[in-house]
């Protein structure tokens, strides 16, 4: 996947009926989750992107539409466990049959950060990307739907959002996710991301880039990407009536 991230910096405002558009997408997602549960499909949704890119604002309307008994949100962060493989924390959080695991930052965050800081050399970088592709291929082969979202916007938009967060007497106490925005680091990050997308965009786990400059447009775009991916992978019709359902119906009618 060759990606020009500047194409996702337009931040075109959404001008339609936002409540109606949001409600329609949430209703569609709820129905797709029901189909996912009935057809015993697993799903992984990964939210990636820097601080101030609008990930959490896009996460809220997605989780609000889901049955809470059949999904879990994980924020693994940068926790290290030197005694185990670096993907081990994510293995432990994989979804059960009929369930969805949402990773608010997944297995890419730490790798990208260390590559930007030049703490990961070319050989280790290539090996890590290969391990990710194999890990995601294993999940795909285990009948798991994978949706990878990357939220991108301009440095100015991010800086404004981070300043706004700092002005809030409550949110300012939340631990920072990223270091301050720096133009040199930004250029290096873009370079690393383009390489990452080229190495880890696969047929079974493609990247989907969200233009996150406008909050409402980004939320609707993320919802659309998730619902489209689920709709493509889950049968549209319910399965034939299971034999065990028949006696239950007969008991109720007796």
Give the integer Cα–Cα distance in Å for 203 and 247. 43
Question: Which of 104, 60, 54, 56 shows the shortest CA–CA distance to 212?
Answer: 54
In the prediction, which pLDDT does 197 show?
97
**How crowded is residue 16: how many other Cβ atoms within 10 Å of its Cβ?**
10
Question: Which of 134, 132, 76, 127 shows the shortest CA–CA distance to 106?
Answer: 76
In the prediction, which pLDDT does 246 show?
53
Long-range contacts of 106-111 (CB under 8 A, 24+ apart): 106/46, 106/47, 106/48, 106/76, 106/148, 107/46, 107/132, 107/135, 108/46, 108/48, 108/132, 108/196, 108/200, 109/48, 109/77, 109/78, 110/78, 110/86, 111/196
Q: Which residues of the chain have pLDDT under 70?
A: 1, 77-82, 175-183, 242-254
> In terms of C-beta density within 10 A (0-12 exposed, 13-18 middle, 19 or more buried), how is residue 215 classed?
middle
Give the integer Cα–Cα distance in Å for 105 and 45. 10
Contact of 158 with 81, CB cutoff 8 Å: no
């Amino acid at each position: 996947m060759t990606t020009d991230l500047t194409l996702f910096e337009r931040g075109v405002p959404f001008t339609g009926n936002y409540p109606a558009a949001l409600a329609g997408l949430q209703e569609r997602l709820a129905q797709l989750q029901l189909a996912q549960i009935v057809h015993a499909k697993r799903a992984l949704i990964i939210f990636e992107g820097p601080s101030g890119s609008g990930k959490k604002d896009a996460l809220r309307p997605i989780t609000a539409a889901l049955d809470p008994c059949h999904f879990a949100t994980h924020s693994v962060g940068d926790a290290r466990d030197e005694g185990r493989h670096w993907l081990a924390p994510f293995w432990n959080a994989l979804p059960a049959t009929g369930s969805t695991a949402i990773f608010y930052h997944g297995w890419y965050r730490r790798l990208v950060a260390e590559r930007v800081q030049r703490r990961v050399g070319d050989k280790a970088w290539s090996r890590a990307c290969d391990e990710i592709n194999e890990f995601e291929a294993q999940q795909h082969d285990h009948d798991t739907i994978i949706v990878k979202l990357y939220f991108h916007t301009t440095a100015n938009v991010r800086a404004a959002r981070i300043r706004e967060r700092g002005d809030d007497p409550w949110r300012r106490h939340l631990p920072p996710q990223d270091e301050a925005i720096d133009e040199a680091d930004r250029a290096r990050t873009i370079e690393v991301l383009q390489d990452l997308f080229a190495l880890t965009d696969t047929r079974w786990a493609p990247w989907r880039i969200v233009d996150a400059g406008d909050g409402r447009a980004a939320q609707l775009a993320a919802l659309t990407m998730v619902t489209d991916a689920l709709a493509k992978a889950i049968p549209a019709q319910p399965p034939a009536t299971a034999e065990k359902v028949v006696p239950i119906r007969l008991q109720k009618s007796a």
